[in-house]
Amino acid sequence: GVGYPAVGSICGTDNASMARACGPLISSDHQSRNPAPVLLVGKSGVGDAVDSFNLNSAFFELVGVTVLGGIFNRLPLDGYYSLENCKAAVGSYFDQFKPGQKAFGFIPEVPEIAKSREKNTEENSDGNNVLDMELEQANKFVSTFEEHVDVDSIIKAARDHCKLEDRSILRPEKRIKPNDVKSNGVAKPISLTREQIEQSAKKGGAKGG
């Protein structure tokens, strides 16, 4: 939903940084984490789907974040680039050139939720319950997702990577807060309010958005 994984790099909140921050602790000093593995949601088609997957996965792999594989979304059910044709071609590519990764699923375009935002806005003007319509659309997508994506294999791949069976889960009361960590010669992160950040930015010449 962010467009591409490097979004947020300027302030350290890109997808790869978040994956590194969200992984399980792997050291007794509570300072080191094993990056959480990533699953990419890719495009329809064949060439563009594979090219985009490789481009995006390279960003994660550059900083040591494992990409388990991908799910390819919004494929048409007929035509040259139909779901079945794309599934065969992209699946073959992964089998030949990505043995450590997997194409976990190919999701078809769901006519019932295509352009749902515009449709719901129009129907809302007629006095219909938009929440009911959105829930119905969400349920339709969930059922489609379950039918076309190998969820069990995704979970297994994530468990195998993180070795969840072998590591002990920290209890909430044993988790430490960032402010509890002693610096040991390393400067602590500076905590600023939004107002302080905005004032500092204005002094530096930034213009309000």
The answer to whether 43 and 76 have CB atoms below 8 angstroms apart is no
What is the model's pLDDT at position 187?
Answer: 45
For tokens 């044709």, what's the residue? 85
pTM: 0.72
Residue 139's SS3 state is: helix
Nearest to 142 by CA among 129, 155, 151: 151
In this prediction, the residues of the chain whose per-residue pLDDT falls under 50 are: 165-187
What is the model's pLDDT at position 176?
Answer: 40
What is the model's pLDDT at position 150?
Answer: 97
CA distance 34 to 116: 39
What is the model's pLDDT at position 123?
Answer: 62
CB-based contacts of 25, cutoff 8 Å, min separation 6: 32, 33, 170
What is the model's pLDDT at position 185?
Answer: 47
Nearest to 77 by CA among 107, 48, 51: 107
**What's the token pair of residue 14?**
């890109």
What is the model's pLDDT at position 200?
Answer: 77
CA distance 109 to 77: 8
Nearest to 68 by CA among 160, 2, 146: 160
